[in-house]
Structure 1
């Protein structure tokens, strides 16, 4: 099971490394870059998905077999996975709110520059987009209440 975790970690580190390398030395030839990206992304996706499925299949027994908390406050695999699952709603909701606030904020700035009296209305739209993150935070708080 540790080799699958190491494989996923190595995959993520290599992806970050390639991204940093291409940030400083971008490819100039468009056709060569397209072919290279297609093969690289396919291999990366295949490795990541197969390692994740293998980790779930082989690691599920270890996570289910242990108790959720031990006597001396140690965190078991099951409790760690539960805490990770409780944190996912906040992270995903914050990501979604960021995707929503970007275009709404740009449109708000554009309309305020033409019609300053629309400022209050644009704040309402921005507040609705930010509400997505608050919903994720509420779900995380409810899940943490169930875990403890």
Structure 2
């Protein structure tokens, strides 16, 4: 498992170094092999991360099982249930962020021309932000079921 962590660390260091090189000397990054190398580095990183999750999860579950039986506090099912409760909030917050960005930019552009429609633009922003509140309400309702 340590070799997977080493591969992921090298992948991250390689991507960071590549970004620094591309920012400092963008004219010298015209070699035909450079972009496929970055893509291959990213693919190796994603595959190593997936393997680490699958292999690491088995190791953690094997190590945690006796401790869970002894303490009786939390089980794997309860832990996965708590993660499942957080998913609606996370996804709705991402959706709200995606919605608020263009709406906010458009409302600022319109307000520069017609300041009298501030109330309408505020309503549109509130509707977009309401998506995150719906996700939070769903998480609270799901948390009550656990």
TM-score by length of 2: 0.71
| Stretches of structure 1 lacking an aligned partner (at least 5 in a row) | none
Root mean square deviation, CA, Å: 3.4
**Corresponding residue for residue 118 of structure 1:** 117
1:106 CA displacement:
0.7
**Corresponding residue for residue 85 of structure 2:** 86
Partners of 2:127 and 2:46 in 1: CA distance: 34
**Corresponding residue for residue 132 of structure 1:** 131
Quick check: 2:15–2:38 contact (8 Å CA) kept in 1?
Answer: no
Question: Does the residue aligned with 1:134 lie in a helix, a strand or coil?
Answer: helix
Is 1:35 aligned to residue 72 of structure 2? no
**1:69-121 Cα distance to aligned partner (Å, 9 max, x none):** 87967333322222122112112211211111111101110000011122111
Quick check: 1:97–1:131 contact (8 Å CA) kept in 2?
Answer: yes
Is 1:97 aligned to residue 118 of structure 2? no
Partners of 1:103 and 1:70 in 2: CA distance: 50
Tell which structure's C-alpha radius of gyration is larger. 2
**Corresponding residue for residue 44 of structure 1:** 45
Partners of 1:87 and 1:112 in 2: CA distance: 36
Q: Hey, which bits of structure 1, 4+ residues long, moved more than 6 A?
A: 69-73
Higher relative contact order (CA 8 A, sep 6+): 2
Partners of 2:75 and 2:85 in 1: CA distance: 15
Aligned positions, number: 137
Quick check: 1:8–1:52 contact (8 Å CA) kept in 2?
Answer: no
**1:8-43 Cα distance to aligned partner (Å, 9 max, x none):** 7984x66665565556x2422145542222111211
